[in-house]
Structure 1
Amino acid sequence: MLLNGDKFELIRYGRNEVLKNSTCYEYNNQPIEDKEHVKDLGVHMSSDATFSHHINKIAEAGKSMSGWVLRTFASRDGQCLKTLWKSLVLPRLEYCCQLWSPHKIQEITTLEAIQRAFTARIQEVQHLDYWERLSELKLYSLQRRRERYCILYVWKILEDRVPNVGIIVNQHPRKGRLCFIKGVQGSIQRVRTLTHNSFTHNGPRLFNCLPQELRDLSGTSPETFKRNLDKWLEGLPDHPPIPGYPSCHHNTLPEVLQEQEREETVGSTGTGGSRLQLCR
């Protein structure tokens, strides 16, 4: 097989500068150029092992496509813009999100702002704030959609529909099917944070949040699981983070369920209404 050496790219992980400087990779006696970011099957891999560069890239692509849609189509009808949003913009913001799903508030709000700005142009809901627009348009926040994709992928792994990337399942005699969540090893905090927020740790955490009847749903089609998952998600508050309101930054499924459990424990009626008025 003949290979094109001009297309070779080298990316190095880790902070061992001595090792980096003492190793050299060549092809046909020509050194392969070091890169900080390498695009692999549509995802930008970075030498710092984060996906910040990729998230910035897809945010730019999402803004560009969103602007093109609003410039090209004069209609501001809800059904029209929702169809254009789902078919043209969302695929650019969600491709392979199980791998790169952000955990930093700044990155979450950067992506969420694209949908927030787009839905504000829909005529029927212009007078509503973002949380209310999502409810009226029957849309998930981008944060909730990414969590949904992670849950779906874990379920497919457990059903042997896709290759297993290291998910371990335990069948509890009372609690049903649960994913084993590995302990985070290592003494370097940065590495621990990256590991904690990777798919092999975040996916099982999200899957274990599901009620037992959903976790135990097996031997059925992905469409059936999706319908049951969506029915459950519709009953949960979806209040994505908004810049300037640090108290509104708790929207992950584990946090939402913990908050509901606390409210049930103290007999509270909930504070969703007041938060809804604050975060616009």
Structure 2
Amino acid sequence: MFVLYINDLLSSINYSKGFSFADDTKLIGAISGLQDVELLQEDLNTVIEWSKNNNMELHENKFEVVSYPLNESKTMRELPFYSETVQYSTPGGVIITPQNTVRDLWVYISGDRKWRTQIDKTAEAAKKMAAWVLSAFHDRSVNRRRERYCIVHVWKILNDVAPIDIGICFQQNMRLGIKAEIPAINKKSQLSVRADYDRTFRIRAAQLFNLLPANLRSIKKLDSFKIELGKVLEQYPDTPPVPGYTTTNDNSLLSWKRTHPIELSCA
């Protein structure tokens, strides 16, 4: 009902582009001079006036503005009036202070068009969740669960159950069966670059999937695949690293395959 209620809101603006999702609305305008600032300000005033006419109050103290320079030139930013092109206000006199970073539908966007804040916030949340998970379990078998998920996701991509969102392709081999392709990296690349490459989900998931027996990779029913996958994973040792103790390896299936080759079978 709320969506229907605000259905004509965006049709009231004249000079900028408007977007709404639930109760969040944004105005976007290209600013090349003070006249463009005035037009964007006019659209902002129109939206506020619309809300008053429709008995809906906007949280003017929560308004935010962010500016995205489209080139590396500092000419415009050095002009005396530049500050006036990034500052707006409401009819009630609330000044909307320019921000370097704002949160838009839970995604942090920055004026420099970089994603460092979003990455840092996501990583921080993931660390907190990981700490909670690891404090709730007596062992560290979470890693094995994650690798199982990677394998299942690749199977879903192969069988059109999930979109090809990580660029994995497959090839059919008469002797080895269906295998995920693993593109080569330039051998002249720095060691740090090659290490990062090997740790990417795209590469690691394909490597894990290729560990499976050929007949397991060719199973077409998800439930059957998961059952047989569980039988295969049971054949690998599961000794998660524990702080203060020396372990054989990092407990990855890939590490066990290298250090303790296992003859895998799938009924």
TM-score (normalised: structure 1): 0.51
In structure 1, what is the Cα distance between the partners aligned to 2:75 and 2:207?
39
Alignment-derived partner of residue 213 in structure 2: 211
Name the structure 2 match of 1:199. Answer: 201
Task: Write the mapping of 1:74-85 to structure 2, written as runs, cut at 5 A.
Answer: none
**Residue identity opposite 1:183 in structure 2:** A
- SS of 2:237's partner is coil
CA distance in 2, matches of 1:56, 1:169: 35
Distance in 2 between the 1:191 and 1:248 partners? 26
Counterpart-to-counterpart distance in 2, 1:203 and 1:248:
22
In the alignment, the residues of structure 2 paired with residue 163 and residue 152 of structure 1 have an alpha-carbon distance, to the nearest angstrom, of 13
Contact 2:170 2:179 in 1 (8 A): yes
3-state SS in 2 of match to 1:2: strand
Asked whether the equivalents of residues 242 and 249 of structure 1 are also in contact (C-alpha less than 8 Å), the reply is no
1:160-208 Cα deviation digits (max 9, x unpaired): 1111131111111101111111112473544433332112111111100
Cα distance in 1, alignment partners of residues 242 and 73 from structure 2 = 43
Residues 50-105 of structure 1, C-alpha deviations (whole Å, 9 max, x = no match): x6764442332455xx5xxxxxxxxxxxxxxxxxxxxxxxxxxxxxxxxxxxxxxx
Q: Contact 2:65 / 2:99 at 8 angstroms: preserved in 1? A: no
CA contact (8 A) 2:249 2:256 kept: no
Q: Return 5+ residue gaps in structure 2 as ranges.
A: 1-16, 20-25, 28-63, 78-83, 87-97, 109-113
- Which residue of the partner structure matches residue 230 of structure 1? 230
Q: Which residue of 2 aligns with 1:33?
A: 100
Query: Does 1:183 pair with 2:194?
Result: no
Which one of 116, 122, 134 corresponds to residue 47 of structure 1? 116
Native 8 Å contact 2:249 2:255 kept in 1 = no
How far 1:257 sits from its partner (Å)?
1.9
The Cα RMSD (Å) is: 4.0
Aligned length: 178
Question: For residues 169 and 198 of structure 1, what CA distance do their matches in structure 2 show?
Answer: 18
Letter in 1 for 2:160: D
User: Aligned to 1:170, what secondary structure does the other structure show?
Assistant: strand
- Per the normalisation by structure 2, the TM-score is 0.53
Gaps of 5+ in 1: 11-18, 67-113, 121-129, 132-140, 265-280
Q: 1:32 to 1:119 in 2, by over 3 A?
A: closer
